[in-house]
């Protein structure tokens, strides 16, 4: 079987590729990635050692490229990780988010339909649901209506709806997963955890939006990938599956844990500063994974408090290595 993974040189996509190659030795994996700022070939170092892996540089919006690629590799399954994903960037420049996240998904769906792909899986986000009150016990379920608040989440919600429409209209075997906040090695340092580590290592203050009470559910990236594998194998066509870890933390609580881990690694006296809040900043996300656990089986979750220090150590070493390399080049 051939699996086409778009956006596979990014944070989550590269972990998925590693996991799939390790668990499916008979499969071939083709990675299509534009290599924008968040894509990194170093993320694919392990995959490139496999004789079942191939990398193609390209844009999912390029329909001619997609036609050539699909004609050549004839993918059995497509997993679409390709996306512009940082909310702040979407607020500053929404156009590229619409082009990649919506129009790019449309191009992939058309190619998948034409070449009779057996499963198209759309990677999405819990942000499409909007937000919840801080003190409520509510959780997003798959039945929660989409109510996106940022250009990023709006572009993802639109892509989800389009993918599901291709199932309803054309019979394309589509599944969608919506996951909570990921953390882990290789994450680009515009996201909160690696950004905090980078600032601390550089002796800069860690910025915290608003009052820092915004709440997110944090899941380890490989747990997310395990859930995607379950959906690829046994998910029902036309269905949405939420993926979460039931691990809610405010930004203040999270940064406190990050600073504690940094101190144990010898990065002392990390400081924070409150900065003006993000426009339209969602207050709380909380997602129920009850459906996927009930229908596809319970996927194991990594203990956050045990894994976070390991992830932070990985980033400290990475940033210190980058700093040493830069100094050596002077």
pLDDT above 50: residue 197: yes
Q: With both helix axes pointing from N to C terminus, report the angle between 221-234 and 11-23 in degrees, rounded to the nearest 10.
A: 60
Q: What is the domain-level CATH number for residue 180? A: 3.40.50.720
Return the pLDDT at 283.
97
- Which residues on neighbouring strands pair with residue 183, listed in sequence order? 220
315 inside domain: no
Across 44-57, average pLDDT: 98
pLDDT confidence band for 330 (50 / 70 / 90)? very low
Q: Does 272 fall in a domain?
A: no
Tell me, yes or no, whether 297 lies in a domain. Answer: yes
Does residue 258 lie within any of the structural domains? no
Check pLDDT > 60 for residue 29.
yes
In a domain, 269, yes or no: no
Judge whether residue 325 has pLDDT over 80.
Answer: no
Q: Using the structure block, give the residue that is written with the tokens 């009470």.
A: 213
pLDDT score of 328: 46
Q: What is the mean pLDDT of residues 77-104?
A: 95
The verdict on residue 202 lying in a domain is: no
Q: What pLDDT, on a 0 to 100 scale, did the predictor assign at position 132?
A: 97
The tens digit of pLDDT for each residue in 209-250 reads: 999 999 999 999 999 999 999 999 999 999 999 999 999 999
Judge contact between 160 and 176, C-beta under 8 A. Answer: yes
Active site residues: 126-127, 152
Asked if residue 327 is part of any domain, the answer here is: no
Whole-Å CA distances, 186 to 17, 42, 223: 13, 9, 15
**pLDDT bucket at 327, cuts 50 / 70 / 90:** very low
Per-residue pLDDT, averaged over 299-315, amounts to 96
Strand order across the 28-33 sheet: 53-57, 28-33, 2-6, 77-80, 119-125, 174-179, 239-243
Give tens-digit pLDDT for 120-164: 999 999 999 999 999 888 999 999 999 999 999 999 999 999 999
Whole domain around residue 70: which residue ranges?
2-186+219-247+283-301
Average pLDDT, stretch 89-107?
A: 95
Residue 134 lies in a domain: yes
Q: State pLDDT tens for residues 287-298.
A: 999 999 999 998
Q: Is the model's pLDDT at 300 over the cut of 90?
A: no
Phi, psi of 183 (to 5 degrees): -140, 155
Domain count, the chain: 1
% helix / strand / coil in the chain, to the nearest 5?
45, 20, 35
């Amino acid at each position: 079987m051939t699996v086409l993974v778009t956006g596979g040189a990014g944070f989550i996509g590269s972990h998925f590729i590693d996991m799939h190659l390790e668990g499916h030795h008979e499969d071939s994996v083709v990675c299509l990635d534009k290599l924008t700022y968040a894509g990194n070939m170093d993320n694919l170092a392990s995959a490139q050692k496999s004789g079942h892996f191939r990398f193609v540089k390209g844009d999912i919006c390029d329909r001619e490229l997609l036609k050539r690629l699909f004609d050549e590799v004839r993918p059995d399954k497509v997993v679409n990780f390709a996306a512009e994903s940082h909310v702040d960037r979407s607020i500053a420049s929404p156009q590229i988010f619409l082009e990649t996240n919506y129009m790019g998904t449309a191009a992939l769906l058309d190619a998948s339909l034409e070449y009779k792909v057996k499963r198209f899986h759309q990677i999405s986000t819990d942000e499409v649901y909007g937000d919840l009150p801080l003190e409520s016990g509510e959780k997003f379920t798959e039945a929660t209506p989409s109510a996106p608040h940022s250009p990023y989440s709006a572009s993802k919600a639109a892509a989800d709806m389009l993918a599901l429409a291709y199932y309803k209209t054309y019979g394309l075997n589509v599944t969608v997963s919506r996951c909570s906040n990921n953390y882990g090695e290789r994450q680009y340092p515009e996201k909160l955890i690696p950004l905090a580590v980078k600032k601390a290592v550089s002796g800069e203050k860690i910025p915290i939006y608003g009052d820092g009470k915004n709440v997110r559910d944090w899941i380890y990236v490989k747990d997310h990938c395990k859930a995607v594998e379950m959906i690829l194998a046994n998910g029902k066509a036309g269905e949405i599956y939420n993926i979460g870890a039931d691990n809610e933390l405010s930004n203040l609580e999270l940064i406190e844990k990050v600073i504690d881990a940094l101190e144990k690694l010898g990065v002392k006296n990390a400081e924070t500063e409150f900065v003006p809040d993000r426009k339209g900043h969602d207050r709380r996300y909380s997602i129920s994974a009850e459906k996927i656990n009930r229908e596809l089986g319970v996927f194991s979750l990594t203990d956050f408090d045990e894994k976070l220090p390991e992830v932070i150590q990985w980033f400290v070493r990475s940033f210190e290595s980058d700093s040493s390399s830069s100094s050596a080049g002077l």
